[in-house]
Amino acid sequence: MTTPHAAVLAASSAPGFLSPTGVEVVFVLVGLVTLGAAVVAVTTRQLVHAAMWLVLALGGLAVEYLLLTAEFIAWVQVLIYVGSVVVLILFGLMLTKAPIGRSPDADSGNRPAALVAALAAAAALVALVVDAFRTAWIDLEEVQGSTEVTGEILFRHWVLPFEALSVLLLAALVGAVVLSRLRRAAAGDRPDRQGD
């Protein structure tokens, strides 16, 4: 949330980096665990293990949101990513081969390119966030991201992006339906027998 907030103090009155509070220490530690899990998730040769490490990384992110007192966002993170996206990934892995143990063909030869793309994306995001917030400081003593605040910001200040996103999702949904219909039509236009 980039809206100027009363609790975002100027740098001059902000605490320094040399005397971290307990929350900050935990924040950094959980961040390290999240980063480690994410790295293992993309380097392990065992496909389903990668999905499990992804659960840890996404769960770590939820904990970070919690530490920033954004409770609602944290639960949505768990609900959408751990509860749905990972289940979808596991479903896909089970539909394909996903052997137990190492997958010898998990190395695609695109590793260097993927590494470059990942590093570039990370650098861009870090630069963006650092530049956007600079010395802003959030006072975590009081709850900043309660459901009420999140809802108000989302539906007052950010309602247009929110609606644009919903249109995008609707387009994706319609596209998926069209694609599945196309394939069925190409397969010989047999009557729909699912219902009987």
Partner 1 sequence: MNDVLDVALRLAAVLVAFLVLPLVVGQAEHKTMAHMQGRLGPMHAGGFHGWAQLVADGVKFAQKEDVVPAGADRRIFRLAPAVALLPYLVVMLVIPVGPGGFVGQVVDAGLFFVLAVMGVGVLGSLMGGWASANKYSLLGGLRTAAQLMSYELPMLLAAASVAMAAGTLSLPGIVEAYQWWWTPWQLVGGLVFFTAGLAELQRPPFDMPVADSEIIFGAYTEYTGLRFAFFLLAEYAGIVVLCGLTTVLFLGGWHGPFADTLGWVWTLLKTAALAFVVIWLRVTYPRMREDQLMKLAWTVLIPLALAQIALTGVVKVVFL
Distance, CA of 89 to chain centre: 14
The correct pick among 27, 72, 137, 158 for binding partner 1 (CB under 8 A) is 72
d(CA 92, CA 71): 30
Residue that the structure tokens 């289940």 belong to: 87
Closer of 52 and 136 to partner 1 (Cβ) = 52
The correct pick among 29, 79, 118, 128 for binding partner 1 (CB under 8 A) is 79
Given a contact cutoff of 8 angstroms between Cβ atoms, the answer to whether 31 and 64 are in contact is: yes
Q: Cβ 47 to partner 1, closest distance in Å? A: 10
Give the C-alpha distances (Å, rounded to integers) separating 125 from 35, 38, 41, 130.
Answer: 15, 16, 20, 8
**Candidate segments 28-36, 69-77, 125-133, 152-160, binder of partner 1 by CB under 8 A:** 69-77
Alpha helix ranges (H) inside 18-70: 22-43, 47-67
The correct pick among 71, 103, 137, 138 for binding partner 1 (CB under 8 A) is 71
Backbone angles phi, psi at 19, to 5 degrees: -125, 75
Q: Cβ 94 to partner 1, closest distance in Å? A: 5
The correct pick among 39, 94, 122, 177 for binding partner 1 (CB under 8 A) is 94
Closest C-alpha to 44, from 31, 35, 53: 53
Q: Cβ 73 to partner 1, closest distance in Å? A: 9
Q: Cβ 39 to partner 1, closest distance in Å? A: 19
Distance, CA of 44 to chain centre: 20
State which of positions 144-163 bind partner 1 (CB under 8 A). Answer: 146-147
State which of positions 1-40 bind partner 1 (CB under 8 A). Answer: none
Q: Counting contacts by CB under 8 A, is residue 67 touching partner 1? A: no
